[in-house]
Chains A and B, each alone.
Chain A
Amino acid sequence: MRLTPRFLLSAAAPLAALPGRAVAEGMPQLHFKDPLLQGQVVWGAIIFIVFYLLLSRSALPKVADVIKAREVRVRNDLDVARRARKDADQAQKELCEAREKAMEEARATIQGIRDTAKEKIRVQAEETAARLEAEIKKAEAQIALSRSNALGSINEIASSTATVLTERLVGTADQQAIAAAVEHAHAARS
């Protein structure tokens, strides 16, 4: 619905013309000679000026101060937060780098230990092998010695055994004949 002045006047005119007790004569707004109407303009001007002065000097600057203080605070807080984030990023970066470095060092250390251990094991194995070789050789020599010793005393043992047996059987024993027979038998066997 559009409330135009023309509509207003067409609606108001017959209403104003209606007979009645308290019906206003025409539009009271147009009674410009009414001292109350003139008075409201003067009073209105005074009130509006006072309103304007209070707003411009006191009320609006108060609102502006609060809004500005908030803006400043938010900006500062944002700056602090931004700085903190930057610091945190830097710290994280440093931490990552340190970890990376530590890992690298650890890897190198492990590799070193491993190499040392390998080397040690190799040396030990070589030493053990050499020692075993030597022991084997020593043992073989001993065996050979024992063998030759054993083989050397066979004749003697056989002769004494044969002497004892012969003495039991015949009462006497010819040491030289027995020794020759044992020598002969030993030579036939080997």
Chain B
Amino acid sequence: MASGSTIDALGQFELHPIFGSFGEALCLSQAPLYMVISVAVVLAFLYLGMKPKAVVPGRLQAAAEVSYEFVHGLAVDTIGEKGTAFFPFVFALFFFILAGNYIGLLPFSYTFTSHIAVTFALAITVFILCILTSLRFQGIAFLKHFMPEGAPVALCPILIPIEILSYISRPISLSIRLFANMVAGHVLLEVFASFTIMLAGLGVVGDVLAVTPLVLNIALTALELLVGLLQAYVFAILTCIYLREAVDH
């Protein structure tokens, strides 16, 4: 919020305890609340959508089925036949992030995907799952992939650390990409919204000028809708790509 002539663009990411002392004791902030809301919205969408079980689906059922088939196609096409096993995980990831991004765009709400701790936790989950899947399907032989096939043995001391580094950097890039996009979008929205309020305080001329950041904010909201979907998609597809490498190399 704008306070006088300053703009506090980062205050929106602060965590506040909810449910009084009880919530404080359980370390409950608005973040888990919005996670629950997001999860509830997605589950309600699926349960209510699929309630009619109609052969010719209505709008909500069609939307639920399209979501299912979209993520199912994403998982199976990318990972392969074994993708079916990972499909619920990919679905959960995609919709957890998507709902978090979109609900965070509502006024007075909070975006839990704008916290590096949350996105990193998701990314590290994917990372650990990939390692476990690699060990399950390829055994210890999966370590061979850190030495590219056909490369000269002399290059081993350079290539292997590079490969390991690139492998380890996956969860970092995965989490920072989502976190940074969300933070940047919300900072921009906050900054332009603050401009509008500050300019509106300058009288008639300010009122006229205040329209510009307002219009920009509308455009930014549209952009954020795109970014929110895109980031959820990117997170999901990268997870699928990493899993494909894990199951079948």
Chain A interface residues toward B at CB < 8 A? 1, 3-5, 7-8, 11-12, 15-16, 18-24, 26-30, 32, 34-45, 47-48, 50-52, 54-56, 59-60, 62-64, 66-67, 69-70, 73
Contact = CB atoms under 8 A, between A and B. Distances in A.
A39 B25 CA distance: 10
A39 B7 CA distance: 28
A48 B11 contact: no
Contacts of A36: 15-17, 27-29, 31
Contacts of A43: 27-28, 31-32, 35
Contact of A39 (B26, B42, B88): B26
Contact of B65 (A22, A40, A66): A66
A8 B116 contact: no
B180 A4 contact: yes
A15 B122 CA distance: 29
23 contacts: A3-B181, A3-B184, A5-B176, A11-B191, A23-B11, A24-B11, A24-B14, A29-B117, A36-B16, A36-B17, A39-B32, A43-B35, A44-B121, A45-B121, A48-B92, A51-B39, A51-B96, A55-B88, A59-B50, A60-B91, A62-B47, A63-B64, A67-B68
Nearest to B4: A20
A59 B187 contact: no
Interface of B is mostly: helix
Contacts of A29: 13, 114-117, 179, 183
B180 A15 contact: no
Contacts of A63: 46, 50, 64-65, 68
Q: Which one of A41, A47, A69 has the greatest number of beta carbons of chain B within 10 Å?
A: A47
Nearest 8 A-B pairs (CB), nearest first?
Answer: A39-B27, A56-B88, A43-B32, A20-B6, A3-B184, A40-B31, A36-B15, A5-B180
B32 A40 contact: yes
A5 B53 CA distance: 45
B118 interface: yes
B1 interface: yes
Contact of A41 (B39, B55, B121): B121
Contact of B8 (A11, A23, A27, A66): A23
A175 B180 CA distance: 171
